Structure 1
């Protein structure tokens, strides 16, 4: 049986690059930028005025000139054909291009406009280049502006627009099939009998896929019957990622591993030394198709998706940073097993660390409610003491630049 780290490394080795497509800028939010973006020109493209006021030559100020004649008024988006002489200035607005014959801006609050068309500078000190954004100080032409991969979030849209990117190169996310299994499972709109449960995992998996913008092309629940499972799996295997839930352990009704092998799935591994989620199975098919057979208990299903399905996606999208982050756990925790143990955590109210969220084993349907991450209790450490540093996997997809 593989350790968690061995299974994770196997998943990483299976990741393959995704195709790149272009989507309109208005539709890119939540997708993953696939190619770096370079500046098409200097930014700012000119010496840009940062304050309403006047533009002068610092030499006039240094010679003692404090009253200036206004030669012209320049608005944002306009230019002037007028040149100034000694003791003259431009009245200029925020965002305007500063003419080359001036080098300093005095803000409106430090000025007094006289009745005879001049302006007095009231401040005592002036520095050359003040209130000017120099051409190219943000980006030089052809300089890397936005590295990839990274999530196209709200903050990125404005930058892409400013750079003239109207068709955004993003990764085309792989299609998904979801098959849940179990005679005891009924849909959520049905009243379950005393020995039945509602199909919460189907909706949990749909939500997890939606968070990654994965298109779900097939979704079906199947009873614990080899023939029915085979038919459903054959349909599901038309997609690139096949998520199967339940029927993967060692019980008499756990037919999933055998059916998958009969259908030609090459089993990469079955069972991992983790808790919850030990029965996890991962297999592959031709054309870079991958099967994740996740355990049926809600916390096991959720945890193995976060640990392994997202690890696979992480690699396919070209991210290389470690997904776990080191944090302080403010509560102690003890385990008896020698497995890597994963457990829900939430940020403490004081913001100085994380706390455990108690749960009643892997069948606890509310175990992850209100949580911010999954803590990792490593296999060779039986006790986590209060304020020890642990590693936590965020519940949000890990979209950072490399």
Structure 2
């Protein structure tokens, strides 16, 4: 797919080219065709949550490494149903000890290596204590099944087995499996880091509000929504509506892979993002998405290779745009291939947006269906309270229709 580029006027100040908005369904392909994947690096997987595996994760050790007891009970040698009982106990984390002769048993704890000569582990509840010729013994209970509770070496995986394929997100389960397989390090791309810029003369972070000012209710929570998209916020900056300041901010060298700008994506007198992107020679990936709210968004590649995501200034519109487009940028930067998509049926729908996709907060109802909350107000996030996801409601979706769900970060 050809990617549109910004055009610069031959004389005077650079002018941002106008592009038609793209559909929500096209975002992934458009971004993937325009954004190059990050370099591969080796790292401790525990430090790379939210990154993507650049190579398959291969087990360096079998699991278990030796035969072990899966339950508290007795390691036995021979078919039984009775065994003479030795006095020692086998504990997890300890090796050594005498071999088991046929017809003999030893007490064993869960996770303990079985002694050489053991043919099975019989769990506690399947055993009856007894005495034979004046010695301690155990008997298999009359109604007990013939079950072996030994966890055999390599039962879960062998050394060299592929545990996780390339392109998979590094999550807590991947980190834990890697530790179990003695493979704590891996080749990854990411996690993606972003510098966040909030713009607007009217935005006030702290202190009393003057006439015409509004409280900054987005930047305190934006990092949480970024984490949902696997984007780590490096720092949140605040900047007045000033073209020169904005251009200077972009000129500062940083080590992040992304820039997220909230505000300045409109076409008003105080919205300077498009002219500045044209001035610095940024390559526009797309400018506008056919969605409401959040359609006034921009994705561009800066001259130094960082990817810019420009979000609308209104809090709900910004969150909607981020959750729709942020994951596609992360997928492209980290070469992720296994992102899950969630779907649900809505029992109603709210209004019509022509050809645009509506982004609506939804809550789950009894029976697993989802209900929208009605018209959404963009200047705040209060409409998200009590909701579990955002629903992408296309123009042709009616009552009971199947829609994609974007889970909220709580």
Counterpart of 2:105? 89
Q: Deviations over 1:30-70 (max 9, x none)?
A: 66555433222322222212233333344444xxxx3x323
8 Å CA contact 1:325–1:391 kept in 2: the answer is yes
Question: How far is 1:18 from its partner?
Answer: 2.9
Q: Pick one of 348, 373, 384 that aligns with 2:398.
A: 384
Alignment of structure 1 residues 278-357 onto 2, 5 Å: 278-321=295-338, 323-348=340-365, 350=366, 352-357=368-373
8 Å CA contact 1:18–1:173 kept in 2: the answer is no
Within 2, Cα distance between the matches of 1:265 and 1:237? Answer: 16
Question: How far is 1:205 from its partner?
Answer: 3.0
Structure-2-length-normalised TM-score: 0.82
Q: Deviations over 1:112-150 (max 9, x none)?
A: 143822314151266666111122111122112344523
- Let me know the Cα RMSD of the aligned residues: 3.0
Alignment of structure 1 residues 211-230 onto 2, 5 Å: 211=228, 212=230, 214-217=232-235, 219-223=237-241, 225-230=242-247
Alignment of structure 1 residues 169-318 onto 2, 5 Å: 169-187=187-205, 189-211=206-228, 212=230, 214-217=232-235, 219-223=237-241, 225-235=242-252, 239-318=256-335
Alignment of structure 1 residues 122-141 onto 2, 5 Å: 122-124=140-142, 130-141=148-159
**SS at structure 2 position matched to 1:333:** coil
Change (3 A) 1:287 1:125: farther
Q: Deviations over 1:235-287 (max 9, x none)?
A: 37774312222222222332221121011112222222211122212221234
Please list every run of at least 4 consecutive aligned residues from structure 1 whose deviation after the TM superposition is greater than 4 angstroms: 20-35, 125-129, 155-158, 166-170, 236-239
Within 2, Cα distance between the matches of 1:300 and 1:358? Answer: 15
Q: Pick one of 375, 387, 401 that aligns with 1:371.
A: 387
Question: How far is 1:312 from its partner?
Answer: 0.5
Change (3 A) 1:179 1:257: same
Within 2, Cα distance between the matches of 1:24 and 1:124? Answer: 51
Change (3 A) 1:267 1:17: closer
**SS at structure 2 position matched to 1:334:** coil
Change (3 A) 1:215 1:354: same
Change (3 A) 1:237 1:130: closer
Within 1, Cα distance between the matches of 2:260 and 2:408? Answer: 19
**SS at structure 1 position matched to 2:323:** helix
Counterpart of 2:171? 152
| Stretch deviating more after TM superposition (91-100 or 4-13) | 91-100
Change (3 A) 1:321 1:39: closer
Change (3 A) 1:178 1:80: closer
Q: Deviations over 1:133-174 (max 9, x none)?
A: 122111122112344523332x55543333224446554434
User: Are 1:395 and 2:405 an aligned pair?
Assistant: no
Change (3 A) 1:179 1:71: closer
Question: How far is 1:329 from its partner?
Answer: 1.3
Within 1, Cα distance between the matches of 2:271 and 2:170? Answer: 39
**SS at structure 1 position matched to 2:153:** coil
Within 2, Cα distance between the matches of 1:78 and 1:370? Answer: 54
Within 1, Cα distance between the matches of 2:341 and 2:71? Answer: 44
Within 1, Cα distance between the matches of 2:312 and 2:231? Answer: 23
Change (3 A) 1:31 1:339: closer
| Stretch deviating more after TM superposition (25-34 or 7-16) | 25-34
Counterpart of 1:70? 85
Within 2, Cα distance between the matches of 1:356 and 1:150? Answer: 30
Within 2, Cα distance between the matches of 1:128 and 1:58? Answer: 13
Change (3 A) 1:168 1:178: same
Question: How far is 1:213 from its partner?
Answer: 5.3
* Count of aligned pairs: 384
8 Å CA contact 1:173–1:215 kept in 2: the answer is no
Alignment of structure 1 residues 4-153 onto 2, 5 Å: 4-23=24-43, 27=47, 34-61=54-81, 66=82, 68-70=83-85, 73-76=88-91, 77-85=94-102, 87-109=103-125, 110-114=127-131, 116-124=134-142, 130-148=148-166, 149-153=168-172
User: Tell me, which stretches of 5 or more residues in structure 1 are unaligned?
Assistant: 398-402
Change (3 A) 1:235 1:203: farther
8 Å CA contact 2:98–2:115 kept in 1: the answer is no
